Structure 1
């Protein structure tokens, strides 16, 4: 009975053309091309709501965000090398970098793509209209870079 089955199978299976094989390969599902989302740990004051808005903004842009309330943001920012005058509303750890405040996604993507030898980038304060903040943007945001030696410079204007 196995011989009969094998004979019938061979009779019904016809070789496919090269064109058909290429077409089938082209239509096959592709493996996922993107890696897992970049993990972000966002430290915020427990009472702050705009920080939750910023976390949502990062998630909408493909990041996996873990929000951790803390009452030690000033200490954490200082230890991360961010000068007091450049502190933002919250502190995020993203792929080995400190991202302080409501930094727009363009600056984060540039940082992660170029991987410069920096400690941090920061958007000081809580600028109106910045990601996670209400209000209307009044002009370009100046994002600052903090070098490994602690020197601050303009990273980009957005």
Structure 2
């Protein structure tokens, strides 16, 4: 190969479009009781689904939930913060992805309690998971059922 053809090949390669840079994973901060193992399993579930998770043990989950607008009757096992939204409990990633895609005027979504078969929990799913939405005005509605 001549010097001219090598330069032409190199120049052609430099003019090719570069592959799109992969988006950084969505950051999640997960606040959990220091002793809770299912919360660690939920964090692993989020990581397997492309989220970057920072787990922070705390003894103040109830206060954090109230500050996020989640009433006691809708408390989940832990509370996460994802791009300004609170996500309470073992919420499936489908609901989180929908939340981030649609960006509704909500404070939080939550899956109350610790339902069997939900992400991070053992057991078999008994019924559809009903994810609740907490609006900025404090009103509560069904966000979705999975």
TM-score > 0.5 by shorter chain = yes
Aligned partner of 1:13 in structure 2 is: 4
* Secondary structure at the counterpart of residue 131 of structure 2: strand
Aligned length: 142
Q: Under a length normalisation based on structure 2, what TM-score does the superposition of the two structures give?
A: 0.90
Alpha carbon RMSD of aligned pairs, Å?
A: 2.1
Within 5 A, what are the aligned runs for 1:4-153?
12-14=3-5, 25=16, 30-32=19-21, 34-153=22-141
Runs of 4+ in 1 over 6 A off after TM superposition: none
The structure-2 alpha-carbon separation of the partners of 1:31 and 1:88, relative to structure 1 and needing over 3 Å to count, comes to: same
Deviation sequence 1:23-75 (CA, Å, 0-9, x none): x83xx65132x321111110000110000000000101111101010001011
The unaligned stretches of length 5 or more in structure 2 are none
- How far the C-alpha of 1:12 sits from its partner, in A, is 4.5
- How far the C-alpha of 1:99 sits from its partner, in A, is 0.2
How far apart, CA to CA, are the structure 2 residues paired with 1:150 and 1:100? 15
* Secondary structure at the counterpart of residue 13 of structure 1: helix
How far apart, CA to CA, are the structure 2 residues paired with 1:53 and 1:113? 25
Kindly name which structure, 1 or 2, has the bigger radius of gyration based on alpha carbons.
1
The unaligned stretches of length 5 or more in structure 1 are 1-8
